[in-house]
Every structure is written in C-alpha cells, then in structure tokens.
Amino acid sequence: MAHTSNYILGVYDDEDVLLKAIKNVREGGVKIHEVYSPFPVHGIDDVLGYKRSRLTIVAFLFGLLGTSLALTMQFGMMTIDWPMIIGGKDYAPVPSFIPVTFELTVLLASFGMVGTFMIISNLKPWGKAKLFDKRITDDKHIMAIDLGNNQLEESAIDKLLKDSGASEVNKKTL
C-alpha cells in the first residue's frame, strides 16, 4: 500500500455498548473510518449512517443482461441461424426457452453480484487485508478512526472513546 494513515482504535467488549458508542462518537463530531466485529451486529448500518447498498440494482441489471443474452442466444440458434422443428413445435417455441432463460438470469445475477461485491470490497486473492487487531476475529469489536480525516485533537478523540465505554484505546499506523 502506497500511503499509510494513523488510526485510533477503540476496543469494545459488548455490541450494545458499541452501538451506543458509535452514536456518541458520531455526535461528538468524529468521522468513523470503519467498525469491525466478529459477528454481524443488528442495526449497525443505521447507527453508522450507511446508505442502503446499491448492490441490488447491480443484481437486477445483471439479471436483465442474463435474460436478454439467453433469449438472443436461443432465438439466434433455433429461429434464425439454423431453424429446426423439434417435437412438432414451430421455429420460435417460446415456452421451451423459458427454463434456459430463467437459469441464465439467475446465474448472471448471482455471479454479477458476487463479482461486483468482490471488486468494490477489494477482495482479491492476492490482496492484503487491513487487519487492525487480531481480536476482531474472536471476541472484540474495533472502532477505527482515521486521524487524517478528523479535525479533532487526538487526545479529545481518545477521551471520547474512553467515555463511551471502550475497554482500551490503541494506536496503529497502516
């Protein structure tokens, strides 16, 4: 990674404390870089103020692409390029095209969604994860605050985190 930043890390033991802390810290005027937790915390998107993911729109568009590809392929092969009568049906037997169309829609929607998710999350086999603290894979929640993105003094953020119930506050440069 080309550039590094200085982070303050608040460590929390309990998700209820964490949810309240996120609220307090944001109200205190601090921008949170990211919160890491070992399990999904219900309602965390709301307190972090995340907008709804647009991934569903991507899924819909990829699905639409799958539908049109499947129909183009089948009509191209069976109706235009080499018309054939199969089972006494005419050259454009739409009902028999539906299963393939359905499958390709689902396939492209899911592959497209997973692929998009991996790209926007920087999940590639050779990528290196930013690991702030090993304990986020076990029993601790970490709130990471990028010092470069905040106007507040380091000591003020430190105090804010401690007051909101952080069990420890660390510093890390990544």
Partner 1 sequence: MAEETFEFTAKTKKNLFIFIAVGFVLTAIGIFMSMGGGGHHEVAEAAGHGAHDAAEAAGGGHGEFHWYQRLFANLWINNVFFAGVALVGVLFFAIQYAAQVGWSAGIKRIPLSFGAWIPFAGVLMLVTYFIAGHDIFHWTHSDLYLPVEEGGDKIISGKGAYFFWPLENGTFPIFFLGRMVIFFGVWYMLFNKLKSVAYEEDTVGGTEKWYKLRKLSAIFIIFFAVSSSMSAWDWVMSIDTHWFSTMFGWYNFASWWVSGLALTALIVVLLKDKGYLSIVNSNHIHDLGKFVFAFSIFWTYIWFSQFLLIYYANIPEETIYFVERWKNGHYAPLFYLNLGVNFFFPFLVLMTRDAKRHARFIKVVAPVVIVGHWLDFYLMITPGTLKENGGFGFLELGLMFVYAGAFVFVILNQLSKAPLYAKNHPMLEESLHHHI
In a 13 Å sphere around the CA of 43, the CA atoms on its Cβ side amount to: 9
99 lines the binding site for partner 1 (CB under 8 A): yes
40 lines the binding site for partner 1 (CB under 8 A): no
Residue with smaller CB distance to partner 1, 88 or 125: 88
Q: With beta carbons less than 8 A apart as the criterion, state whether 12 and 167 touch.
A: yes
Span from 89-97, 115-123, 143-151, 153-161 in contact with partner 1 (CB under 8 A): 89-97
88 lines the binding site for partner 1 (CB under 8 A): yes
According to CB under 8 A, which one of 60, 76, 100, 118 is a site residue for partner 1? 60
For residue 170, what are the β-bridge partners?
9
Q: With beta carbons less than 8 A apart as the criterion, state whether 173 and 7 touch.
A: yes
List the interface residues with partner 1, window 111-150 (CB under 8 A). none
For residue 70, the surrounding DSSP H or E stretch is helix 55-75
| Residue linked to tokens 């990544």 | 174
According to CB under 8 A, which one of 42, 51, 124, 128 is a site residue for partner 1? 42
According to CB under 8 A, which one of 95, 124, 138, 173 is a site residue for partner 1? 95
CA pair distance 52, 45, nearest whole angstrom:
9
For residue 8, the surrounding DSSP H or E stretch is strand 6-12
Residues that bind partner 1 (CB under 8 A): 42-43, 52, 56, 60, 87-89, 95-96, 98-99
